[in-house]
Structure formats: C-alpha cells, structure tokens
Structure 1
Amino acid sequence: MSEKVLMKGNEAIAEAAIIAGCRHYFGYPITPQTEIPELMAKRMPQIGGTFVQAESEIAAINMVFGAAGAGARTMTSSSSPGISLKQEGISYIAAAELPCVIVNIVRGGPGLGGIQPAQSDYFQATKGGGHGDYRNIVLAPNSVQEMVDLTLLAFDLADQYRNPVMLLGDGALGQMMEPVEFKTSSTTPVAKPWALTGLRGRKIPNVVNSLFLQPEQLEELNIRLQKKYATIRNNEPRWEEINTEDAELVLVAYGITSRIAHSAMDKARQEGMKVGLLRPITLWPFPVQPFAKLAKTTKAFLTLELSAGQMVEDVMLATKQLKPVYFYGRTGGMIPSTEEFYQEIVKIINGKEAN
C-alpha cells in the first residue's frame, strides 16, 4: 500500500506483522488487544497462514516456541495478565535462542487491574520478567504509524539476534485510530540453518534446547547469551530528542505519555521555559548515550510515566544522578492531561520538587 489508511493501532500491528512475513499467530483474547487476534483470525486463512486461538496464554507461547524452532516468523500478543502467564515460555525461547515477536498492549495493574492504558509492565518487559539471566529487545511506539514501523523492525531484529522482541504498547495506542502508511518489510527473512526442519541430507540433526544438566554447559550458554546482549546494547539503542540542545529541564517519556509530554513541552516553551524531550524508543537496550551527554548540559530531568515509577530507575542509572531526576506518574489507567504535566514542569523550574 502507498496511500495512508485510517486504522486502529491493534489492527495496524496485525497487518504490519503479515507484511513482515508472519504466517503463524497463536494467541488468546484479552482486552485491550483483542483486535489483533480478531484480525489475524480473518487474515491468516486468506494468505495461507496459521491462526490458533489457544486454550490459554501458556499454550499460546509454547506454540510460538514450536513455530520459532521450525524457523517460521511467528507472533503472539496479549495484555498484562496474559503476558505474565507467558513468562516461563519467553524465558525458554530466549534460552533456546529462537526469534519471535511478542506484543503487550499494557493495561492497568497489578493483578487483573483494569482495561485502561498503563505503563506498569516496564519492569516485566525490560528486566526479563521470567526466570534466569536473559533479555528481550523491547520497542516502544508512540503512534499508530510507529506500531507499524516497529513491528516490521521487531521481526528483523528477532531474526538478526535470534531473540524474542517485545512491542510494548498500551491500551490508548491499541485502540486509537490514526492514518498510517504500510511499507514493505525492511529485509528478507534470513536463512535459518539451525531450524528444526528435518535432516534433509544431514547426518546430524539440529537440536533446540534450554535444559542443561551439567553446570559447565549451562554457564557456557549464559556466557554466550551475555555476549549477544552486549552486542545488542552497542548496536540497537534508539531514541528521539526534541529541543534538548539548550534545555535546562529534559522531560523523559515513552509511548503515549511522550505525546502528552511533547504538548507540555511546547506550552512551556511558549512561556519562555527551556524544556526539552528525550523519548526512548528502545526500552531495552535503554539508550544511555543521550542521557550521559545531556547530564553535562541540562539542570534536571523529569521522568513522566503511567506507573508508580519504573523507567525512572533506568534514567537515574543512565544519568548517574549527576543532575536531579524527578518523577511524576499516574496509575490504574488514569491518563494525565497536558496541563498536569505542565504544572509539574513549572514546579521544578520554580525550585519546587515534583511529586
């Protein structure tokens, strides 16, 4: 497609996954991401793909494990409590070094919480979530167009690094409608000589495994994984900077919150305040590079989240707290207004701490 189409965020993710070559989707309905499996149920039979509504989220992630092991481009999606159920399977997939894409359209928590938007799954996504020393690459779109673009990127990164990639959205992005343009996938799916596709003339079968009873072998796996993660840290951080060159206060926000922060920054600029915005696009690897640079020039940072404070810890680490790092957040699915963020900016500019 070359013309822009008005589309809901969840549906845009599904269409982008198909363009990226995903032909195997396994999932389970849960608000606010149900439009993804709903559209996949319609589209997959049309393109010769496979759609399975699994009996549970646990079953779905293990079906992804199997399809990824066979070399397919495969995806699952869910929302917060469902992603929690998938954590053991995600750890297995990471240990087996298999590529897949996992979409989390975050809702308020903890527990079953509510169905309104939140960003309270940041820790779960960026710190592993399941057991063991592993990492997911985590991409955070802030528009429906980025939900398309980052879905395409997610499949490419998954194949490149043989690693799970998570697209971390939220209920607002999943449900909102915006004009989007669909482009072709950035790369052709790579050859996968390690895949479980039968011997095909080979004498030694491929093996996919995450169980190592000898500690020496398990440590060898962990060392190899950590080397890979170090490469990802070096090569894949992504971020956006707006008005940071002269900023005395730098707002830090991702996803839907960054759009509210952008409006608050614009209002502050109109009032003569030197405010900028730094938006992480990869939540892991976290883009430490711009924070280290800005910590030398700005006076303070204000981290804005739909959580009780999670990304703020990575901001503190990235800045080494050379400058004050303030935090303001809302929880439970409450969406702050531009004015709310603006008032927090004013407090800091006037020498009063944020909440």
Structure 2
Amino acid sequence: MERVLMKGNEIIGEAAIRSGCKLFFGYPITPSTEVIEYLSKHLPPKGGTVLQAEDEIGAINMCYGAACTGSRVMTASSSPGVSLKQEGLSYSAAVELPMVIVNINRCGPGLGGLGPAQSDYFQAVKGGGHGDYRLIVLAPSTAQELYDFTMKAFDLADQYRNPVMILADGFLGQTMEPVVLKNRPEIPEFDRSWVVDGAKGRKKRILASYSLTNEIGEANNLRWEAKYNNIQEQQQHWEEFYAEDAEYLLVSYGTTGRICKSTVINARKKGIKLGLIRPITLWPYPEKAFTPYKDKVKGIVTVELNTGQMIEDVKLAVDCKMPVHLYRRQGGMLPTEDEILDFVEEQFSLLAVEGV
C-alpha cells in the first residue's frame, strides 16, 4: 500500500487498472476527461487497451461488445455524454453484461456548466434508458471512496452480471486529495459460462435482448425482476453520522454528504441533536437505514445539488411519517455548512436552542 496525492478522476483510473480492467472506451468531456487521459498513459503498459470512440454512443456499444467476451471493461463520461449512452445501457442490462460506467456529474440541463451537480440522480437510479432495468449505483464522497468503490464496482458487476455506475461530480473528479492505493487481493472467480469466446466443440452462445414472443419477454422480465429484488435485499449500503440519538436528520450523498458532516458537528455545538444518513448505494436505495428512525426523528432535510430528486426516495423510505424538507443549490454552486444549519433551524424553529 502507498499513500499518494492524486486528482479524483485519476484515482478512478488507477483503481480500474488495479481491478483488472483491460478495456476502456470513451470520449473526452469535461469534467471527466482525466479518466481517459490517465488510462491512455497507464493502462496499455499493463496489457490493456484504451480507445477514444467517435462519440459516446460508439463508446457504450464498444463496451457492450467487449463485455460479451467476459473482459473487465469501463467507460467514463459526464452528464450530456451519459445521456447519449442510455440506449446502450438498456441493451447491456437486458443482456446482463458486467461493465462499469463512471458519470462525473456536471450541471444542466442541456450543456449546462462545468460545476458540480447531482441532477443526474433520476437518470442513474430510475433507469435513464427504456424498459424495466436497474443499474447498481455507487456514490463516493471522498478520494478514498473513489478508489475503493471503483474496485467494488467491478466485483458487483461480475457478481450480478449487471452494469454498475459510479456517480460522482465535478468537485470530486477535479479535487486532489490523499488516497491509499491498496493492493487488492486476487480477482474473485465468477461464472463465465455465458461469455462469447468461440464455439468450437460446443453449442453456440447468443447474447441478445430481443424477445421473439410475448411469453418469452415476460419470462425474461420476471427473471430480471427477481435479480433486482435480490440486489435490493443484499446491497443496501449507507453511513450514519451522529444519528443514533438524533432528533433531526440530514440526508445527503457524495460531495454534499461530506459538507453535511461539518453541519452536524456545528449543530451539536449549539445543542441541536442533528445527525446524518449518507447513502452509499443510490440504487438500491438504503431504505433499511431509515427503519430505526421512523418513529423517533422529528424531521429530515435532504441536501442536494438539484431541484429535489433524492427527496422522493427519502419520503418513501420513511413512509411520510415526518416532515421532509429540501435544501438545494444548483448551477454548480455548493452549499456551506452554515447555510445548511440555518435552513435546519428555520424549518424546525430551533433558533431558540442556540446557546443551550
């Protein structure tokens, strides 16, 4: 293990190499470009290949073809580029192809700006392409999590034969922080009986998403649904911060999740029992995290860099048993810990608590 100072996008690239990624297909777009730049320099000497496609549509379909061979493959882009990949993601999910997709979220809609945002939440967790499918979505909050979650993403993709997305943002991708480059153990053994690797001496394997009859289509969808239900049961992950005795909760992920930790500390100094639930998996959403708090917490504030997207999942998770408010910034703006705390105090009439 070694501790180094690296930019977030480069951390993702290094983690991919150490995870056994052999193929990367992508197209440069700010603020994700350093991922393809780093891998272009460092993956070929490790026996891998990097190809800059003609566009994002070409890149995701190259991932589709490469994943059919059982190779570990990744692509990276930013919001408008990920929009172009949606059809390919739907096809990949239907064929149950393991791959890793990185979205370094920038603000929108349209071209938007280059600042950090969380406005791709719906696109990532609700299935931005057509049909009933799901991506496993991981939301790192620190440089170390960028590294660790990239490694985890490749294993989850192989374990469930499903695309996995790392949803970060321009702040995390561009910030330099210390990271421990862990030497991961040997790549686990996964079932490879489905891969397309030549059919000499055996029956052909065909990987396709087209259903020739409605009956086959329904059977396929029921099988995928059962897989997603299993993932939902087994892969809910989150972090709790001063939540055990909290009377009020913040819920936030990624960059705003780390800001909210300072808010919680400041609130505690003022006598306000504030805690934080930070989702790590955005899908499956960590509904289990809220079970102990449904009947004891007086209110929740979600902190998001959008007009209010994750708040819908929070309301569902708590069965609307308490007020859930939204504090948001948009257009690349980040909130401060003091702004968040002022909003909490205002929403729950806690100004009189100061100094207790």
TM category (shorter chain) comes to: over 0.9
Pairs aligned (count): 350
CA-based RMSD:
1.1
- Partners in 2 of 1:3 and 1:163 — Cα distance? 31
**Aligned positions of 1:27-46 closer than 5 A:** 27-46=26-45
Q: Structure 2: any 5+ residue segments left out of the alignment?
A: 352-356
Aligned partner of residue 18 in structure 1, secondary structure: helix
Partner of 2:199: 199
Deviation larger for 209-218 or 172-181: 209-218
Matched, 1:301 2:319: no
The Cα shift of 1:211 comes to 1.0
- Partners in 1 of 2:348 and 2:310 — Cα distance? 22
Q: Is contact 2:117-2:331 (8 Å) kept? A: yes
Aligned partner of residue 164 in structure 2, secondary structure: strand
Aligned partner of residue 140 in structure 2, secondary structure: coil
Partner of 2:59: 60
- Partners in 2 of 1:174 and 1:27 — Cα distance? 16
Q: Is contact 1:156-1:189 (8 Å) kept? A: no
Amino acid of the structure 2 residue aligned with 1:74 = V
Partner of 1:21: 20
The Cα shift of 1:188 comes to 2.5
Aligned partner of residue 66 in structure 2, secondary structure: helix
Q: Is contact 2:2-2:182 (8 Å) kept? A: no
Deviations 1:141-193 (CA, angstroms, capped at 9, x unpaired)? 00010000000000000000000000000000000011111223354352411
Aligned partner of residue 239 in structure 2, secondary structure: strand
Deviations 1:300-321 (CA, angstroms, capped at 9, x unpaired)? 1110000000000000000011
Partner of 1:234: 233
Amino acid of the structure 2 residue aligned with 1:213 = L
Deviations 1:235-285 (CA, angstroms, capped at 9, x unpaired)? 000000011111111000000001111111110100110000000000000
Amino acid of the structure 2 residue aligned with 1:109 = G
The Cα shift of 1:200 comes to 4.1
- Partners in 2 of 1:189 and 1:44 — Cα distance? 22
The Cα shift of 1:122 comes to 0.2
**Aligned positions of 1:31-180 closer than 5 A:** 31-180=30-179
Aligned partner of residue 250 in structure 1, secondary structure: strand
Deviations 1:77-102 (CA, angstroms, capped at 9, x unpaired)? 00000000000000000000110000
Amino acid of the structure 2 residue aligned with 1:101 = V
Closer, same or farther: CA 35–239 of 1 in aligned 2, 3 Å: same
Deviations 1:77-136 (CA, angstroms, capped at 9, x unpaired)? 000000000000000000001100000000000111001100000000000000000000
Partner of 1:347: 346
Partner of 2:354: none
Q: Is contact 1:76-1:101 (8 Å) kept? A: yes
Identity of aligned residues (%): 55
Query: Where do 4+ consecutive residues of structure 1 move more than 4 Å?
Result: none
Amino acid of the structure 2 residue aligned with 1:178 = E
- Partners in 2 of 1:310 and 1:63 — Cα distance? 31
Aligned partner of residue 29 in structure 2, secondary structure: coil
Aligned partner of residue 334 in structure 1, secondary structure: coil
Partner of 2:288: 289
Aligned partner of residue 181 in structure 1, secondary structure: strand
Aligned partner of residue 103 in structure 2, secondary structure: strand
